[in-house]
Structure 1
Amino acid sequence: MDKIILLLTETSLETIPKELLSDPIIIKDARKRGVNPRYLILDRARHHRAMIKLPNAEKRGRPDILHQALLLIQGSLLARNNLIKTYIHTINDLVIDVDPEIHPPRNYDNFIGLMSQLFMVGRVPPVGKPLMRFVDGINYVLNTELPDRKILLDDVRGKEISLKSFIDYVINFRRPLIMVGAFPRGPFEERTYELADDVLKIGRYVMDTSSILCRLLTVLEIELGLIS
């Protein structure tokens, strides 16, 4: 194995939808944070009453899932040894290239501020080497990384496989693309299923994003001899 390409898929990360820009809850929060409402990050913890009637609301407004995921991935031994490359695919089909050297802010409010800047400027930081930047969709990832297998981990349609069997399978590929959902509940979009060569489910239990990543990263580190 050369490198693992990890795509956090259909991530609950977006700015305030246009139909909510005039909502008093959004305006109040934007003023409090000193951010233009257009670049405020939708967050169910703060905007629940405003977003109840949004289409597909159950999958939206959870940037905390992405925050936790990035802390796990970028703090892993795989990242330290340049064995993993992360991309973020958002619920609105945008794609973000994550530099392997980035250390996400541990403070959630600081992370949200960083995401607002990313949507405003298209990259962070605004000048110098970009640590996160928008790129031209899923095709950019496929054409840049040239994965030799695309694997979707999914609790809804996935074929059940043990964690050990999954690792034994993945380790045979040079640059496998592993897609992990970063949204709270519900199925993937059909276009995501169509992208995958394999749709698998690790074990019999439904696991959240952080639980899947904790197990996956740790066992890969053991398999690759980074930790015993």
Structure 2
Amino acid sequence: MKELVILLAESALETIPRELLNDPVIINDARKRRENPRYLILDRARHHRAMLGLPRAEKRGRPDIVHQALLLIQGSILAYNKLVKTYIHTTNNLVIYVDPETRVPRNYNNFIGLMSQLFREGKVPPMGKPLFSIVGGINHAFNAELPDRKILLDDVRGREIPMSVFIDYVLSLKKPLVMIGAFPRGSFEESTYSLADDVFRISRYVMDTATILCRLLSALEMRLGLLA
């Protein structure tokens, strides 16, 4: 394996949907944060009441999942050795490229502020080399990276294989692209399933995004001899 590409699929990261912009909950939060409501990041912890009638609400408003995932990936030994590249695919089918050298803010509020700026400006920082940049739809990542295989890790439809076998498979490829869901519950959209060459599950248990990443990154680092 020359490089692993991780795509956080259908991530619960988005700005306030148009239908909620005039909701009192959103207006009050925007005033408190001194932010244009249009560029607030939807967050169930703060916007739960406003989200009650939102379509697919169970999958939305969890930017903390993306934050945790990025801390794990960008802080990994794989990242330190320039062996991993990261994309975020949002629930609205935008794709965000994460520069391999990006160190994600550990403070959640700082991260949310950075994401607000990203959706407002298209990249952050607006000048100079961007740490995060919005680059288009999901096919952009595939066309930019040209992976050997697009692998979806899914607890619903995935074929269960042992982790050791999965790691062997990933390492046998020059540039595998692994898609991992970054939403709290529910299943992938049919459009996401249609993009995958392989659909696997690596445990008989349902695991959250952070747990899957911990297991995957650690297993690869150990197999590559990066961990003592």
Same fold, judged at TM 0.5 (above): yes
1:59 to partner: Cα distance: 0.1
Equivalent position of 1:178 in the other structure? 178
Cα deviation code 1:165-217 (max 9, x no counterpart): 11011110000000000000111011110000100001100000000000000
1:136 to partner: Cα distance: 2.1
Equivalent position of 1:75 in the other structure? 75
Amino acid paired to 1:103: R
Equivalent position of 2:187 in the other structure? 187
Equivalent position of 1:206 in the other structure? 206
1:55 to partner: Cα distance: 0.2
Matches for 1:39-78 after TM superposition, within 5 Å: 39-78=39-78
Equivalent position of 2:224 in the other structure? 224
SS in 2 for 1:49: helix
Q: Tell me the matched-pair count.
A: 228
For 1:52 and 1:184, the matched residues in 2 are separated by 16
Equivalent position of 2:127 in the other structure? 127
Structure 1 unaligned regions, length at least 5: none
For 1:142 and 1:149, the matched residues in 2 are separated by 10
For 1:32 and 1:110, the matched residues in 2 are separated by 15
Equivalent position of 1:30 in the other structure? 30
Equivalent position of 2:168 in the other structure? 168
Cα deviation code 1:128-180 (max 9, x no counterpart): 10110001222221111110011000001001111111101111000000000
Identity %: 71
TM-score after normalising by structure 1: 0.99
For 2:38 and 2:18, the matched residues in 1 are separated by 8
Equivalent position of 2:5 in the other structure? 5
For 2:56 and 2:84, the matched residues in 1 are separated by 31
Q: Does 2:88 align with 1:88? A: yes
For 2:136 and 2:90, the matched residues in 1 are separated by 13
SS in 2 for 1:134: strand
TM-score after normalising by structure 2: 0.99
For 2:73 and 2:19, the matched residues in 1 are separated by 34
Amino acid paired to 1:192: T
For 1:142 and 1:158, the matched residues in 2 are separated by 21
Amino acid paired to 1:196: A
For 1:24 and 1:37, the matched residues in 2 are separated by 11
